[in-house]
Amino acid sequence: MEMLISVALGQVLSLLICGIGLTSKYLSEDFHANTPVFQSFLNYILLFLVYTTTLAVRQGEENLLAILRRRWWKYMILGLIDLEANYLVVKAYQYTTLTSIQLLDCFVIPVVILLSWFFLLIRYKAVHFLGIFVCILGMGCMAGADVLVGRHQGAGENKLVGDLLVLGGATLYGISNVWEEYIIRTLSRVEFLGMIGLFGAFFSGIQLAIMEHKELLKVPWDWQIGLLYVGFSACMFGLYSFMPVVIKKTSATSVNLSLLTADLYSLFCGLFLFHYKFSGLYLLSFFTILIGLVLYSSTSTYIAQDPRVYKQFRNPSGPVVDLPTTAQVEPSVTYTSLGQETEEEPHVRVA
C-alpha cells in the first residue's frame, strides 16, 4: 500500500507540471506571451507572501533574520540555481526539438543519483537501477512515438545550443532537488520555501527588468490571459509547496522518475485540446514508466553513515547524542524510502 501511495504522490506532481505546460503553451502560442521569467517571478512572489512572511513572524532560531544571518549566502546560491534551471529549459524550446528536450531532460536523473550518493550518502540496490532503466526506456518509447506520428518538433534552428541549454538546465535541476532534500530533512520545508521565495523573487525581478520588460509590454492583456497567468501561478505554487512533502516521503530520485510521466499527461490532454495524433506507443510508454516506478519503489534505499551524523540528520533540533566509548560502533543504516526497515539503529546514550 505504501509503495502505491509513493507512486500516486509522484503522479500528483506530474499532473501539476502538466497544468504548467498547458497554460504556458496557451500563453506562448495562442496569445504570443513569451514571458518565462515573469511567470517564474509570479510564483516566487507567492512563495514570498506565504512562506517568507511566515518565517518573518516566527521567534528564535527559526526567525527570518536569524536564518539569514547564518545561511544567507547558501540560499542566495540556491535561489539563483532554481531560477536559471527553469529559464534554461524553457529557453531551449527556441533552439532544439521537442524530442531532444524530452530525452536530454532525463539527464537530471543521473545527476540526482550521483549527488545523492556522494552528498546524502544514499545507497541503491540493483532493483533501483533496473527501475531507473525501465523508466528511461519508457521515455525513449515516447520520443519514438513523437517521431512516428510527426508531432510538432519545435524550431530546431540551432540544435547544439538548445541541447546544451537542456543539459545545463537538467544539471541545475538535479543540484536544486538534492539540496532541497537535504534542507527539508535537516531543517524544514517552510524554511526552504521561504528562502526560495525571497531570493527567487529578488533575482527573477532583476532578470525580468533586464531581459524581459519589452516582452511584457507586448502582452495583449485581457481576462483570458489573466486567467492563464493565474492558472500557471496556481499550478507552479502547488508544485513548489507539495514537492518537498513528496521528497521527504520518498526521495529526490523517486520524484524525478515520477515526473517523467508529465509529458504524457500533457500529450493525453493535447489529444482533445490541440488535436494531436495518437499512437499506441504512448500508452506503452506510460505503462512502462509506471512499471519502472513500481520497481524502484518496491524496495528501500538506505543511508550508511556515522551514527552521530545520522541522529543530527533525523532530528537536528533534538538533544545531543553521546556515543558509547567502550565499544566500536558500526555505521548506522536506515532506509529512506517507503519500504520497511530491517535493521535497528545502534544504541546511543542521550546526555
Cβ 154 vs Cβ 96: under 8 Å? yes
Q: Which three cell numbers stand for residue 225?
A: 490571459
Which pLDDT does position 348 carry in this prediction? Answer: 40
Cβ 299 vs Cβ 53: under 8 Å? no
Neighbours of 139 (CB within 10 A): 22
Cβ 161 vs Cβ 96: under 8 Å? yes
CA torsion 169-173-176-181 (nearest 10°) is: -170
State the Cα–Cα distance between residues 328 and 326, nearest whole angstrom.
Answer: 7
Which pLDDT does position 272 carry in this prediction? Answer: 83
Which pLDDT does position 305 carry in this prediction? Answer: 61
State the Cα–Cα distance between residues 30 and 24, nearest whole angstrom.
Answer: 10
Average pLDDT over residues 8-33: 88
Residue 347: pLDDT band (50, 70, 90) is very low
Q: Which three cell numbers stand for residue 64?
A: 527570518
pLDDT at 183 over 70: yes
Return the closest-CA partner of residue 256 out of 10, 2, 5, 9.
10
Q: Which three cell numbers stand for residue 90?
A: 524553457
Which pLDDT does position 60 carry in this prediction? Answer: 87
Which pLDDT does position 269 carry in this prediction? Answer: 86
Which pLDDT does position 73 carry in this prediction? Answer: 94
pLDDT digits (tens, 9 = 90+) for 276-311: 777 788 889 999 999 999 999 888 888 866 444 444
List C-alpha distances in Å: 19 to 69, 88, 230: 37, 20, 11
**Looking up cell 514508466, which residue turns up?**
289
- The structure's pTM equals 0.81
Residue 170: pLDDT band (50, 70, 90) is very high
Average pLDDT over residues 187-208: 95
Cβ 198 vs Cβ 79: under 8 Å? yes
pLDDT digits (tens, 9 = 90+) for 39-75: 999 999 999 999 999 999 998 888 999 999 999 999 9
